Chain A
C-alpha cells in the first residue's frame, strides 16, 4: 500500500480548521501529491470543538474513513488540548504542533509525551492579530506546519495559497497579502526546531 501521511486538525467552530485543511491539501496538490482534505461534520456551532483531516501520498489514495492514528496533530486553540484529547491516537514518532504561547518543552512535560513525539509551538493568534488584524490562527498555522513537516516548501506553498485566497477574497489584495505575511512569520517563528 501507498505510504500516506495523515494529519488531524483540531479547532473551534469559526477558527478555520476545515479551510486550513483544504488550503493545505490544495498546496500539496501543486507539488504533485495525491491528497485528501475533509472535515468531520458534527453539530456545527461557533466555538464548538471541530476536527478536519488531510492525507498526502505519492500514489492514489483510496481509503475513505476518518483518521484515528495521525502522523501529525495540529491544534488551533490551546484550550482544546485536554478536553479534545488532541494527542489520542498520535503515532509514537508523530508530531504535535500547537498554537500557544507555551514553550514546546513545557508542553511536552505537561502532557507527559514520549521522547519520540516531536512537539512544536507557535503563537499563531498573536501573528494573526498583528498581520491580519483578527485572531484567525488557521492561515499562520499553515506556515508552521510546512516548516515542521518539511513536506511543502514555503515559496511554492505561498504561491498556491495566494491563488486560492485571491479567488476567495476577490478584490481584497491587502487581506490576501496580510494572510501570506502571517504564513511567513509563523514559518520563521515556530519553536521546537532543533
Chain B
C-alpha cells in the first residue's frame, strides 16, 4: 500500500506488522508517538503483543532483556535522555546476545536542554555492542526496522534503528508498505537457541564471570560483531526480493571521477544529494558517500570506497567533545591510515540540536572540501 506517514507513524506501523511478543517502553520526545500509536494497536487488538508500560527507560530495557531471555521477540522505542538512561542495560542486552530491536528518533542530549534532532544519543551508545542503522527517509526507516529484526535474530545481537528526531520522526512522507502477511512470512518466528523458561533444559543467565571467563565471553561477543556484515547484506538482499527496494550498507552517490566527497549518515544525506546535483551541474566533481550502518564499523567497505578520492569531508551530526572533531571522522581517518593513498580528511560537525542544515550549507561544505587546506581540520557548520 502507498501511505502518507511520519517517521514515528511508519515505525509504529512496522512494529504492528512485526507483531512482537513483548514491547516494553517509556515515551519520550520525539519518539513518543511510536509508543503511543503502538499502544493503540495493542488496545484495539491488532497485535498479540504483551505491552509493558514501565516507569523509566532503564526499566523498559530491563523488561526487554527479561522477555528476550525467555525467547520472546522484543522491541522498544526511545530517544535522547531515555537512551542515555538505558545505557547500563544496553551492554547487558548485547553481552547476553539478545536480539532486541529498538526504534530511536535521534535527539540531542542535555545540557542545554533541547528536543531536536542530532546523533548524540545513538552515537553515545556506540560501544555498547548494539548494531546501529541510520536512515535517510521515512521509507528507509520503515524498511530498516523490519530488516533489523531478522538481522538481529540471525546474528544474536541487539539492533538500534535511528531516524533523525523531528526531521524524520515528524515529517510525513510517501511510503510503500508491505502486506502484514508478507512481513510475517519474511520474519517467521524467533527461534532462540536457549530459553530461560524451558525447565527441561535449565540454563543459567547472567552469572558473574570473573578473571576465569569474562574475557572469553566478551571475545565471543566481539566475534559476533565481526561476523555480522555478511548477515546484514544477506538480509538486505532477501528484503530487496520481497520489497523491490535495496539499500547498500554504503552508497556512493555521483562519485564517478569525484575529486572531493563527503561521508555522512541520516536525513541530511538527502539534502547533500541536492547540493551534489547543483554542483555537478556547474561542472564540479563532487559526490557523496552515504553510510547506513554505523555499527559494525564497515571498515573494509569504507576503505575500498574512500581510497579513490583525494579529499574527503566527514560530516558528523554530533561532536565527540574530544578536541579532535566528530566521532565518524576519527574512525574514518583510522580506517584510511593503513592505505598508500592516504586521502586528506576533514571533519565537519553540523546540525547539533536540530540546527537547520540546508542545501546551501552542503554546497559550502563540498566547496570547502574541494579546495581544502591541511590546517582546516574541524569546521563547525553554521555556528555563529
Chain A nearest CB from B177 CB (Å) reads: 13
Shortest beta-carbon distance from B88 to chain A in Å: 30
Give the interface size class of chain B.
20 to 34
Tell me if A105 is interfacial: C-beta within 8 Å of chain B.
no
> A53's closest neighbor in chain B, by CB?
B171
Q: Which bracket fits the contact residues of A?
A: 20 to 34
Chain A hits for B359, CB < 8 A: 63, 65
Query: Does A64 lie within 8 Å of B167, measured CB to CB?
Result: yes
Instruction: Annotate A32-44 by CB proximity to B: 1 below 8 A, 0 otherwise.
Output: 0111111101000
Interface residues as binary, A18-32 with B (CB distance below 8 Å gives 1, 0 otherwise): 000110011001000
> How close is B250's CB to chain A, nearest CB, in angstroms?
18
Asked whether A65 lies within 8 Å of B116 as measured between CB atoms, the reply is no
For residue A66, CB closer than 8 A to chain B, the reply is: yes
Task: Determine if A64 and B268 form an interchain contact, defined as CB atoms under 8 angstroms apart.
Answer: yes
* Complex CA distance for A181 and B109, rounded to whole angstroms: 46
B2 near A29 with CB under 8 A, answer yes
Query: Are B174 and A34 touching (Cβ within 8 A)?
Result: yes
Residues of B within 8 A of A41 (CB): 115-116, 166, 170
A180 CB, min distance to chain B CBs, angstroms? 19
**B contact residues around A39 at 8 Å (CB):** 170
A residues near B270, Cβ cutoff 8 Å: 61-64
Chain B residues near A61 (CB, 8 Å)? 173, 270
Chain A residue numbers with a CB within 8 Å of B125 are: none
- Whole-angstrom distance between the Cβ of B179 and the nearest chain A Cβ: 19
Q: Are A38 and B172 in contact (CB under 8 A)?
A: yes
Within 8 A of A (CB), among B246-271: 267-271
Complex interface: chain A residues within 8 A of B174 (CB): 29, 33-35
- Residues in A with CB closer than 8 Å to B173 are 34-36, 61
Q: Which residue of B lies closest to A27 (CB)?
A: B4
Known: A25-B4, A37-B4. A65 touches B358 (CB 8 A): yes
B357 cross-chain contacts in A, Cβ below 8 A: 65
Give the contacts of B1-53 with A (CB-CB under 8 A).
2-4, 6
Question: Would you call B277 an interface residue if the criterion is a C-beta within 8 Å of the partner chain's C-beta atoms?
Answer: yes
Docked-complex contact A38 and B170, CB < 8 angstroms: yes
How far does the alpha carbon of A21 sit from the alpha carbon of B171 in the complex, in Å?
A: 10
Chain B residues packing against A (C-beta within 8 Å): 2-4, 6, 115-116, 136-137, 164, 166-168, 170-174, 267-271, 273-274, 277-278, 356-359
Q: Could you jot down 5 A-B contacts, CB within 8 Å?
A: A25-B4, A29-B2, A29-B4, A61-B270, A62-B269
The 10 A-B residue pairs whose C-beta atoms are closest, nearest first, are: A62-B270, A38-B171, A37-B172, A64-B267, A26-B4, A29-B4, A65-B358, A62-B273, A64-B270, A63-B274
